[in-house]
Structure 1
């Protein structure tokens, strides 16, 4: 498992499973001739997208960004449609670190689309129960409301199976939320109406998790946004703002979906100057 130190924080990428989605949808109106130079695509026009939660440890608490693709939450047909070749192995990843799901204190959900939220619940016999039974789950109030009352477009990604049974653990926030003295969440909108990002600031080090407004390193250009985005102009504006801020302050950019990089730093010209590559 790859790790990154951000001041007093230790970030570790867990095995949350993998999907393969249409490259054209992932890069929206950007021509394939351009994006395919920056991100590998197969003969079926599918690109690999990890769903790997990031464990954050500060010496006192264990926190997760996102929850993975889960286990046994999809039919075989759904797995084929979403290219799920491997489901979550969160228990195994935590065990290697001497932890269990009971040791997770907070789960920071940037949004609640199925590929981020399936890991929030698990099957116990015929019932779905919380995967992280002792954790407070943070997400924006806008996102939580739409999760439970999806519209005609979003009902395909906000599943009752991923929220029923965890209501007592969810603490929605509006605008911004300080999770700890070093970690905060900020509502951006864009990819979804309630989409948020995670800012980590510890000592002189900083990291940004821009979630699905920067799903991979190849989406660095502010105009390269997904066809999946509900509000693309919000995505563009938020990405531009936060990337510019991150570059000015020499931040790490971390990823949940990227099949190549766990985290990286760009210089002012947009070149990669430091990187944590995913071990394959």
Structure 2
């Protein structure tokens, strides 16, 4: 098995929304805001090469939305998915599986592209993976998340015939339930950010790598009260974080961050203030 970091680009979100009830005087030291109170964030995907499969975990925003839409998010930097794939000798046609942690636009927008007047899969040879509970949540969105679940990102996946389901477990995420996906890769479910978000957990070089998606978008979100205002169930997020962080500390997991603009990975340590990041490093350094 080989793992590769895929950088899909950077965008900006309101710092207050990203750090919830934490005051700006505190969170601004973690991710400084610009004059509009916007902070820079990454869309960082994970590519898993195993046997005959090449699995892409999340795929960024894509490029099919309008100039007005992208204007809200201040896209910046030179990274993009195709350039990052090419760095390792791959292209879109090589992807066999697109694993979508959840269907918010910054995680799945790149799954679909425009060809003339049509919306078609951006990865023509891939199976797309979601789960039924989250899919139903996304296609019948609540008012809080409606702006994040865009039908042009979601419905064409099913219409293409390339969509498959991962079976969600009945246990609550706080009970640390996981489900097998393939050898060396299990799925962890979390429900605080959105319904039935999936976190891949990979056994790699003797380590367990956990793709944090939006349970922990950055190491700055490791302290328990640091919960995004975007989360639908913030108290559940805190419960999920607490249980996960304790397990990750005890079992020496490596956390892989999708949204931190600089840090890819970290390990954890116990401090007087609770569990905190220990060592930061790139995935390639493992």
Which residue number in structure 2 is paired with residue 69 of structure 1? 61
Tell me if the contact between 2:31 and 2:40 (Cα under 8 Å) persists in the aligned partners: no
**SS of the counterpart of 1:16?**
strand
- Residue 138 (structure 1) aligned to one of 129, 133, 139: 129
Tell me if the contact between 1:13 and 1:52 (Cα under 8 Å) persists in the aligned partners: yes
**SS of the counterpart of 1:119?**
helix
Unaligned stretches of 5+ residues in structure 1? 1-8
**SS of the counterpart of 1:165?**
helix
TM-score with structure 1 setting the length: 0.89
Which residue number in structure 2 is paired with residue 229 of structure 1? 231
Tell me if the contact between 2:212 and 2:258 (Cα under 8 Å) persists in the aligned partners: no
Which residue number in structure 2 is paired with residue 220 of structure 1? 222
- Greater displacement, 116-125 / 164-173: 164-173
Tell me if the contact between 1:64 and 1:108 (Cα under 8 Å) persists in the aligned partners: yes
Tell me if the contact between 2:263 and 2:280 (Cα under 8 Å) persists in the aligned partners: no
* RMSD between aligned residues: 2.0
Q: In 1, distance between residues paired with 2:189 and 2:215?
A: 12
- Residue 119 (structure 1) aligned to one of 110, 116, 124: 110
Report 1:104-115 matches (<5 A): 104-115=95-106
1:226-267 CA distances to partner (integer Å, 9 max, x unpaired)? 000011112111111111111111111001111011111122
Unaligned stretches of 5+ residues in structure 2? 170-177
Which residue number in structure 1 is paired with residue 257 of structure 2? 255
Report 1:18-37 matches (<5 A): 18-37=10-29
Which residue number in structure 1 is paired with residue 182 of structure 2? 180
1:4-39 CA distances to partner (integer Å, 9 max, x unpaired)? xxxxx4322223122100000000001111111222
Tell me if the contact between 1:188 and 1:196 (Cα under 8 Å) persists in the aligned partners: yes
Question: Would you say 1:276 and 2:282 are equivalent positions?
Answer: yes
TM-score with structure 2 setting the length: 0.87
Which residue number in structure 2 is paired with residue 80 of structure 1? 71
- Residue 46 (structure 1) aligned to one of 38, 53, 56: 38
- Residue 195 (structure 1) aligned to one of 164, 173, 197: 197
**SS of the counterpart of 2:48?**
strand
- Greater displacement, 31-40 / 88-97: 88-97
Which residue number in structure 2 is paired with residue 97 of structure 1? 88
| Moved segments of 4+, more than 3 Å | none
1:82-124 CA distances to partner (integer Å, 9 max, x unpaired)? 2223587222222232222121122221110011110010111
Q: In 1, distance between residues paired with 2:77 and 2:280?
A: 29
Q: In 2, distance between residues paired with 1:89 and 1:213?
A: 24
